[in-house]
C-alpha cells in the first residue's frame, strides 16, 4: 500500500444528498486544503491546514460541527477507523476541500479491497489520481478567486459533471468548458441550483429539459442533514 498521507478534516456516515447517488447511504471523508476559492463555499474551514489545528484521528472522528482541525493519516488508518466505527455504508465519498490535491489511488484501493465503492467530488482543477473503478464527480469551478483552470483531462475522466448554476452565465460557462472535450459516452451532466434560489432552480429545470440533462437538487439542505 502506498505511504501517501492525507490531512482529514472529518469522517462521518450520512446519506448522499446530491447527484447520481442521491439517497444512497455513504461515509464522507472530507480532506483538508483547497486553493480554488469559491465565494459560496460552505466548507471554508478546509481551505488551509495550519499546524496549530492538527489533532489526533480520534478527536477528528468525535468532533461536532465545522472546524479547521485536521489529522494526518494514511489509507490504512482511515480504513481501520471506518471498520472500528462499524459504519454500514459501503459507498465512500471523498470530498474536501479539494480532494485531488492528493493522489487518492491508495485510499480508493484500500476501500475497494474491503468491498466498498468510492466516489470523489472535485472541482476539476487538479489532476485526478484514482482507481479505474472510482466514480468521478466533477463540479467545475470557473473564474474563482484561486484563478485555477478546469482541466480538460478532468472533464474527460468524469463519470458525472455536476455544474452549479445561479444564472444563464453559468450555463454558458459550462458550454464553453465542454467545447472540444472528448467526454465519456455515458457521462451524466447535471445542473445544480446554487443556494436553492427559485430562479436558479427554474433555469436549471428549463435547461435540463431542453438538453436532456439531469437536475441535481441538494436534498440534504432541504432535509437539514450533514
> What residues are designated binding site for substrate?
15-17, 30, 95
- Rounded Cα gap, residues 157 and 124, in angstroms: 10
Could you tell me which residues are annotated as the binding site for Mg(2+)? 43
Contact 133, 118 (CB under 8 A): yes
Is the peptide bond prior to 52 cis by the omega test (within 30 degrees of 0)? Answer: no
Going across the sheet that includes 117-122, the strands are: 71-74, 5-15, 25-31, 91-95, 117-122, 135-138, 160-165, 188-193, 214-215
Q: At what angle do helices 75-84 and 105-112 cross, to 10 degrees?
A: 40
Could you tell me which residues are annotated as the binding site for S-adenosyl-L-methionine? 40-42, 97, 139-141
State residue 180 phi and psi, 5-degree precision: 80, 0
Q: Which contiguous run of DSSP H or E holds residue 14?
A: strand 5-15
Could you tell me which residues are annotated as the binding site? 15-17, 30, 34, 38, 40-43, 95, 97, 139-141
How many angstroms separate the Cα of 16 from the Cα of each of 68, 89, 97, 165, 221? 22, 10, 17, 20, 11
Could you tell me which residues are annotated as the binding site for [4Fe-4S] cluster? 34, 38, 41
- Rounded Cα gap, residues 143 and 146, in angstroms: 8
The bridge status of strand 5-15 relative to strand 71-74 is antiparallel
Amino acid at each position: 500500500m502506498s505511504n501517501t498521507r492525507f490531512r482529514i478534516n472529518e469522517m462521518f456516515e450520512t446519506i448522499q444528498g446530491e447527484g447520481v447517488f442521491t439517497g444512497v447511504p455513504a461515509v464522507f471523508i472530507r480532506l483538508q486544503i483547497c486553493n480554488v476559492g469559491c465565494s459560496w463555499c460552505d466548507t471554508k474551514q478546509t481551505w488551509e491546514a495550519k499546524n496549530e489545528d492538527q489533532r489526533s484521528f480520534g478527536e477528528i472522528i468525535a468532533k461536532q460541527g465545522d472546524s479547521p482541525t485536521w489529522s494526518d493519516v494514511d489509507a490504512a488508518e482511515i480504513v481501520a477507523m471506518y471498520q472500528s466505527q462499524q459504519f454500514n455504508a459501503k459507498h465512500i465519498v471523498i470530498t474536501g476541500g479539494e480532494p485531488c490535491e492528493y493522489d487518492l489511488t491508495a485510499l480508493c484501493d484500500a476501500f475497494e479491497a474491503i468491498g466498498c465503492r468510492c466516489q470523489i467530488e472535485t472541482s476539476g482543477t487538479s489532476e485526478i489520481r484514482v482507481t479505474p473503478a472510482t466514480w468521478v464527480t466533477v463540479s467545475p469551478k470557473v473564474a474563482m478567486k484561486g484563478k485555477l483552470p478546469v482541466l480538460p483531462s478532468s472533464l474527460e475522466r468524469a463519470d458525472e459533471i455536476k455544474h452549479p448554476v445561479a444564472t444563464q452565465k453559468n450555463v454558458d460557462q459550462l458550454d464553453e468548458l465542454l467545447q472540444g472535450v472528448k467526454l465519456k459516452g455515458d457521462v451524466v451532466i447535471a445542473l445544480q441550483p446554487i443556494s436553492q434560489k427559485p430562479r436558479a432552480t427554474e433555469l436549471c429545470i428549463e435547461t435540463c429539459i431542453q438538453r436532456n440533462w439531469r437536475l441535481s437538487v441538494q436534498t440534504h439542505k432541504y432535509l437539514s442533514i450533514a
